[in-house]
Amino acid sequence: MDKNCKINWLYIISIKEFQNNLNLNLLKEISMVSKLTRDKLNPLLFKNLKLSLVSIKFDSNVINMAYDMQHGYSTYDYSALRDENNGSIENSLNEYINAIDDIKKYTKSFYLTYNQRVGYYLYPIVKVFDNLTELKIFICDFPFGALVGIGKTLPNLNRLEMQGVNLVKSTNDTISESNIAFPPKLSYMKLFSLRVTSSTLLYDPYEYLFNFEDHEYFYEHFTLPKISIPSLKRLDFKPKDDENHRIEEFLEANPNVESLLTRDYKLNVSNSLNALKSLDIDECISFNNIDQDFRLNSINSLILSTRNFSNSENIIKLCQLCPNLANLSISFLRIISNLQPIIDNFLVPISSNLNNLKSLALFNVIFDTNGHTLDFSKLAHIKKLLINLNYGSVLNIKFDNCKSLKIIELLCFEDSFTDEFKMNLNQHNNWKFKFSKYGVKGYKI
């Protein structure tokens, strides 16, 4: 056959015999099913979008180039780039916006992560989503002005997470935390390690993105503003520095907050915590200006992160201020040579004084040796005991005299249950134990 001969495919497709062999009706059905399947899957596939320039690249994109140069992957003459693009980065930003044009209507959650300085110029992408309810910013520069106006830009937002974020403004800008208009439906807010940053280079995107030698940052600490957010139920907060960030004043303005998590912040136990149902803190607490009748009656769940129980007296005092405490969880941040003194000197007295305490969980237990025996026999009121063991092994768990206990669970990082351990557990009368590769669960029968 002459390879230059052109095939008239339109004529071939119109031949009845060809159509019969092709079974067009079946192909139409398959095509319709495929389209219906895609339509059904799209809201699930594109519900959550994550943008990190670590993995998403466009050729000759100025924002990509700045990211690569910032991380030492390559170098560029940014003066030439500026001239080529007439000082604009709009075309580079539009490449990202156009890439999500067909799927943006399905997106509910957007995660901007590990973009550092270039994050400042990627933020406008957020504005293209019509139905966004969650926004997460991680290790990025972010326009302070965008946070100030976030309530108008994203009115349907109910979850906001910012961690390791520089809130950037120009040195001439006078906006502050008190100007922030939060979204009216916001129910969960996480602010970890934020700082307000003023820059002298925002007048030129190329200077801001590429000039690492003359880039001047002026840092201020970020303070929670005393602004009411009626819909807010949960706050997670960790400051970037040791300045006074006034969480207590924020809580006074937001008595609707039911759950609070703080790290590296010396929380003052006071009336500002009265509405809380759940409190998750480390050992940084103080007790200023409370009288002997003060109680945190609403708290029923308390989570403590501790290094070595160096402030055990404060922790005990806090527990005693929560008469309706039902769930106590402790997460250990360091290796434990011997857990028994903590059980005897802390957990037993606490459980004895809290009649409503029903659940005790010990997380991230790391022993420096194997073969530990844990005696919980003197625990009072506890109905459920959970131990999450990350290293080391337990030879025996004693709980004979803990009459209220109904459920006991031990989770391990690996299969570390010896035959002797299983035999010791099975000696408990009226208990049934189920073993799996990474855990054992016991029920009182």
Pair (116, 148) in one structural domain: yes
Question: What is the per-residue pLDDT for 54?
Answer: 87
Pair (37, 136) in one structural domain: no
Say whether pLDDT at 323 is over 90: yes
Is residue 33 classed as helix, strand or coil in its secondary structure? helix
Tokens of 82: 């500026």
Q: How confident is the model at residue 34 (pLDDT cuts 50, 70, 90)?
A: low
Find the largest Cα–Cα distance for the chain: 102
> Which residue type, as a one-letter code, is found at position 279?
L
380-405: average pLDDT: 88
Pair (87, 37) in one structural domain: no
Say whether pLDDT at 214 is over 80: no
Is 429 contained in some domain? no
Is 17 contained in some domain? yes
Give the pLDDT confidence of 188-208 residue by residue, as tens digits.
999 999 999 999 999 999 999
Say whether pLDDT at 361 is over 90: yes
- 421 vs 249 pLDDT, higher one: 249
- Output the CA torsion 182→186→187→188 (10° steps): -70
Give the pLDDT confidence of 103-146 residue by residue, as tens digits.
999 999 999 999 999 999 999 999 999 899 999 999 999 999 99
For the whole model, what pTM was predicted?
0.87
The dihedral through the CA atoms of 98, 102, 105, 109 has a sign that is: negative
- Please give the tally of structural domains in the chain: 2
Is 371 contained in some domain? no
Question: What is the per-residue pLDDT for 310?
Answer: 67
Pair (118, 17) in one structural domain: no
Residues paired with 159 in a beta bridge? 134, 188
Is 315 contained in some domain? no
Average pLDDT, the chain: 89
Question: What is the per-residue pLDDT for 22?
Answer: 66
Is 245 contained in some domain? no
Give the pLDDT confidence of 298-308 residue by residue, as tens digits.
999 999 998 87
Is residue 65 within 8 A of residue 81, CB to CB? The reply is: yes
Pair (29, 131) in one structural domain: no
Pair (16, 58) in one structural domain: no
Pair (156, 54) in one structural domain: yes
Pair (135, 30) in one structural domain: no
Looking up tokens 């993105």, which residue turns up?
Answer: 209
Q: How confident is the model at residue 392 (pLDDT cuts 50, 70, 90)?
A: confident
Give the pLDDT confidence of 150-165 residue by residue, as tens digits.
999 999 999 999 999 9
Question: What is the per-residue pLDDT for 103?
Answer: 93
Say whether pLDDT at 27 is over 70: no
Pair (25, 51) in one structural domain: no
Query: What percent of the chain has pLDDT above 70?
Result: 92
Is 186 contained in some domain? yes
d(CA 347, CA 344): 6
SS3 assignment for 254-306: CCCCCEEEECCCCEECCHHHCCCCEEEECCCEECCCCCCCCCCCCCCEEEEEE
The domain in which residue 19 lies consists of 9-44
Pair (26, 122) in one structural domain: no
| Of 92, 91, 86, residue with least CA distance to 66 | 92
DSSP 126-159: GGG-SS--EEEEEEEEEEHHHHHTHHHH-TT--E
| Of 181, 193, 91, residue with least CA distance to 138 | 193
Pair (19, 135) in one structural domain: no
